[in-house]
């Protein structure tokens, strides 16, 4: 059974940009709730538009159970997990937000993330602890909801969360929340012991939700397994690697390298740069002979981007000292702030892309601004 995505209720008018993107790429529906497949998720973070017809396919309980039965345990994870699962998986909206968080976080942040879930401090996360994530993201979303037809907003909540939400918020309303926070910040700030103890009394939290591929992957088919940090770290690292591999392979055509121009294209995607041609032309003139960017260089650059905040502080120190930022200073600041060593060729390529006035110095503000857009894939 298929249902046309352009439903007559025009629910997208009441959705935030992230919700709109999830609804656009999701391809499955179960008991009124929308889900992405692993394939859908990969498409959503590597493409501007879905490649498939805009339909939602209704899953039966039997089909869902079969999908979950075939989900591998977390210790069998790999950097090809999502590609191997393809359409054999279901990802909820809150899990989509969680996975997006992972893609933009440095490895050093993985331990912080794990400790936020590990509320009893036993170095393991159980299913109930992990499900707090669902509640936190949902509560944050209620604060952001657009005003309008209450009935349609309720329908939208049903699509995204699978049940009608109440107006009694577990999270306290904070005055400073008028400033939008990232979902990661919300998660970090909201996982207070008070919140967890409040939710711990709600045994209906897990029973009211359908199992998903991620829950079965982490906690087993019966939901009784516990997740340790090593497996959690490996999952996050694998996901980052998988998305980067997919982006790299889409340009490499089976070769071991991508061109410097392709690297520039990937960097400038999802940014607010209107005239990308000037950056590309600038680079073509200044790197006439193509040497290529390897996957290791490509991955190291995006690992650095995930540490952009720390790097920004290091860069500001140069600015405050009125020092110009050349390639050596840039490379040193990256290493000091993030521990990532960028190759001289990669640094030279980055400078040739962003050094618009061709003085061999980096435009600090422009570079940081564009990279923040790229890091958040257009949802800054």
Residue 29 confidence (pLDDT): 93
Confidence of residue 143 (pLDDT cuts 50, 70, 90): low
| Residues 296-334: tens digit of each pLDDT | 999 999 888 888 888 888 777 766 665 667 888 888 888
Distance separating alpha carbons of residues 369 and 283, to the nearest angstrom: 19
Question: Is residue 75 over pLDDT 50?
Answer: yes
The arithmetic mean of pLDDT across residues 97-118, rounded, is 84
Query: Which residue is associated with the tokens 């919700």?
Result: 19
Beta-bridge partner residues of 55: 4
pLDDT-above-90 percentage for the chain: 34
Residue 129 confidence (pLDDT): 86
| SS3 readout for 51-93 | CCCCEEEECCHHHHHHHHHCCCCHHHCCCCHHHHHCCCCCECH
Confidence of residue 148 (pLDDT cuts 50, 70, 90): low
Q: Which residue has the higher pLDDT, 353 or 228?
A: 228
Confidence of residue 208 (pLDDT cuts 50, 70, 90): low
Q: Is 179 left (phi over 0), alpha (psi -120 to 50) or beta?
A: beta
The arithmetic mean of pLDDT across residues 219-229, rounded, is 93
Residue 266: strand, helix, or coil: helix
pLDDT-above-70 percentage for the chain: 77
Give residue 198's Cα distance to chain centre: 28
Question: Is residue 202 over pLDDT 50?
Answer: no
Distance separating alpha carbons of residues 357 and 379, to the nearest angstrom: 29
Q: Is-contact 325 315, C-beta < 8 A? A: yes
Pair type for strands 28-30 and 55-58:
parallel
Residue 146 confidence (pLDDT): 57
Residue 256 confidence (pLDDT): 93
Question: Is residue 174 over pLDDT 80?
Answer: no
The arithmetic mean of pLDDT across residues 362-373, rounded, is 75
């Amino acid at each position: 059974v298929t249902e046309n995505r352009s439903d007559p209720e025009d629910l997208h008018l009441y959705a935030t940009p992230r919700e709109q993107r999830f609804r656009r790429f999701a391809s499955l529906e179960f008991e009124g709730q929308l889900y992405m497949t692993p394939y859908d998720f990969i498409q959503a973070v590597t493409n501007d538009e879905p490649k498939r017809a805009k339909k939602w396919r209704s899953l039966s309980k039997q089909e869902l159970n079969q999908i979950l039965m075939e989900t591998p345990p977390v210790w069998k994870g790999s950097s090809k997990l999502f590609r191997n699962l393809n359409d054999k998986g279901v990802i909820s909206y809150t899990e989509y937000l969680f996975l997006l968080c992972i893609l933009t976080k440095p490895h050093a942040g993985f331990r912080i993330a794990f400790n936020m879930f590990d509320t009893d401090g036993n170095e393991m996360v159980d299913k109930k602890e992990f499900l707090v994530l669902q509640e936190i993201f949902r509560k944050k979303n209620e604060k952001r909801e657009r005003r309008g037809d209450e009935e349609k907003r309720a329908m939208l909540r049903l699509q995204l969360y699978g049940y009608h939400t109440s107006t009694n918020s577990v999270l306290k309303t904070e005055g400073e929340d008028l400033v939008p926070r990232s979902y990661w910040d919300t998660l970090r700030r909201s996982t207070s012991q008070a919140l967890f103890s409040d939710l711990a009394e709600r045994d209906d939290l897990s029973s009211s939700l359908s199992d998903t591929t991620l829950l079965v992957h982490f906690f087993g088919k019966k939901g009784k397994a516990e997740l340790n940090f090593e497996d959690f770290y490996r999952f996050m690292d694998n996901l980052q690697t998988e998305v980067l591999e997919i982006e790299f392979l889409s340009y490499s055509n089976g070769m071991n390298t991508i061109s410097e121009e392709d690297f520039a294209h990937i960097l400038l995607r999802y940014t607010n740069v209107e005239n990308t041609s000037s950056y590309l032309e600038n680079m073509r003139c200044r790197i006439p002979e193509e040497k290529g960017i390897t996957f290791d260089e490509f991955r190291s650059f995006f690992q650095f981007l995930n540490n952009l905040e720390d790097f920004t502080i290091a860069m500001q120190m140069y600015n405050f000292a009125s020092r110009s930022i050349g390639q050596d200073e840039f490379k040193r600041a990256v290493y000091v702030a993030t521990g990532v060593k960028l190759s001289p060729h990669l640094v030279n390529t980055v400078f040739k892309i962003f050094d618009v006035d061709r003085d061999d110095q980096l435009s600090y503000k422009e570079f940081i601004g564009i990279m923040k857009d790229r890091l958040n894939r257009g949802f800054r």
